[in-house]
Amino acid sequence: MIARDAAAAREAIDAPRVLAGLSASLLVLLLLGLLVGDGILALPDRLILLEIRLPRTLLAALVGGGLGVSGAVLQGALRNPLADPGLLGITGTAGLGAAVVFYWGLAAHFAPALPLGGLAGAAVGASFLLAFAGRALSGASLILAGIAVSALAAALLALALSLAPNPFALAEITFWLLGGVADRSLSHVALAAVPILLGTAILLRLGPGLDALSLGEDTAASLGVPVGRTLRLAAAGTALAAGGGAAVAGGIGFVGLVVPHLLRPLLGQRPSALLPASILAGATLLLAADLLVRLAPLVLPLSQPLPLGVLTAVLGAPFMVAIARRMPLP
């Protein structure tokens, strides 16, 4: 107990060390990402490296980083340790947008149609969210609006699936919705990078506002923080940083939820202290998960590659249960 108090107090000294450690592991995993193929560990030829492994590795890092920082900002802004990008319905509407593109068969004619559909879905979801939540925005109204948007997206997605033109389209949509970073090209990476980097830049600036919000919205306002504007930027930044990832990599859950919980014991609980580290930790986590996906065929008799989103959920769910059991009662 005393050791933990001390850990929180050492935050300022420890932060550079934690950031350095995370950067080092991220670099190692990026290198491994180029070395490890589906069930093989060898340096590939130039074509495989550039066309297959590089986009896959970069995409995992980008998507993970965007999800990590989105989770850290949302938990801070909503003062809720269970908040994550999925809660606001952004992942759901991105999936819906992609499914609609599948449904009309647009992806067959124009490859980037799928991620563009996902991006459009995320944008529509974010606009809905801000419209539902109304002008007078509070954390509670944002959560309620997010639940409404999620439910609507899930219902419309079920409709799109039930009306799917043929069984192959249905299978394809389902697989895409499970989430993954395999078989994407560098143009997919570029498409995801723009919104993710833009959203991350927005989210990183919210630190002091999030710190003030930990004392409640009234106190934050009395400290001169524009509360409504901070919440709107948190929602918009999340839509870009997490929606951009969902548009290209499908529904990857639990990364945004888990990353802030992993970092708090190391960095203390001040929301702004988690932001830069949450990018690195999210990227590291998703890269590690994708490496597990690639190595899974070595140990498991799999006819199909393991979907990345399934792996993060299978690993993330028990972890969250463990955290919830240790959490003190309010």
Partner 1 sequence: MSRPWPGGSPDASRDGPEADPGDAGFSPATGLSFAHRLVSIGDRPVLHDIALTLRPNELLAVCGPNGAGKTTLLRALAGLLPGTPPRDPRRVAYLPQNARCAWALTVGQVAALGRIPHRDSAESPVTCALQSCGILALRNRRVDRISGGEARRAMLARAFATEPDLFLLDEPTADLDPVAAQAIMHLLRQTAESGRAVVVVQHAVDLAIRYAHRIVVLRGGRVAADVPAREALPALASAFGLPFGVDPEPRLLPYDERASPH
Write out the residues near partner 1 by the rule CB under 8 A: 1, 4-6, 8-9, 11, 76, 79, 136, 138, 208, 211-229, 268-271, 328
In whole angstroms, the minimum distance from the beta carbon of 141 to partner 1 comes to 9
Cβ atoms within 10 A of the Cβ of 211, count?
17
C-beta separation of 72 from 272 below 8 A = no
Q: Which is nearer to partner 1, 55 or 256 (CB)?
A: 256
β-strand pairing of 36-37 with 40-41 = antiparallel
In whole angstroms, the minimum distance from the beta carbon of 15 to partner 1 comes to 13
In whole angstroms, the minimum distance from the beta carbon of 325 to partner 1 comes to 17
Q: Which is nearer to partner 1, 4 or 17 (CB)?
A: 4
Q: How many Å apart are CA 252 and CA 242, to the nearest integer?
A: 10
In whole angstroms, the minimum distance from the beta carbon of 83 to partner 1 comes to 11
Q: Which is nearer to partner 1, 37 or 208 (CB)?
A: 208
Per-residue tokens: 47: 């074509």
Q: Which is nearer to partner 1, 5 or 45 (CB)?
A: 5
In whole angstroms, the minimum distance from the beta carbon of 222 to partner 1 comes to 4
In whole angstroms, the minimum distance from the beta carbon of 137 to partner 1 comes to 8
Q: How many Å apart are CA 254 and CA 39, to the nearest integer?
A: 25
C-beta separation of 15 from 267 below 8 A = yes
Q: Which is nearer to partner 1, 83 or 107 (CB)?
A: 83
Q: How many Å apart are CA 188 and CA 305, to the nearest integer?
A: 20
In whole angstroms, the minimum distance from the beta carbon of 216 to partner 1 comes to 6
Q: Which is nearer to partner 1, 184 or 232 (CB)?
A: 232
In whole angstroms, the minimum distance from the beta carbon of 146 to partner 1 comes to 18
Q: How many Å apart are CA 22 and CA 207, to the nearest integer?
A: 20
Q: How many Å apart are CA 67 and CA 286, to the nearest integer?
A: 9
Q: Which is nearer to partner 1, 187 or 219 (CB)?
A: 219
Q: Which is nearer to partner 1, 9 or 48 (CB)?
A: 9
C-beta separation of 204 from 275 below 8 A = yes
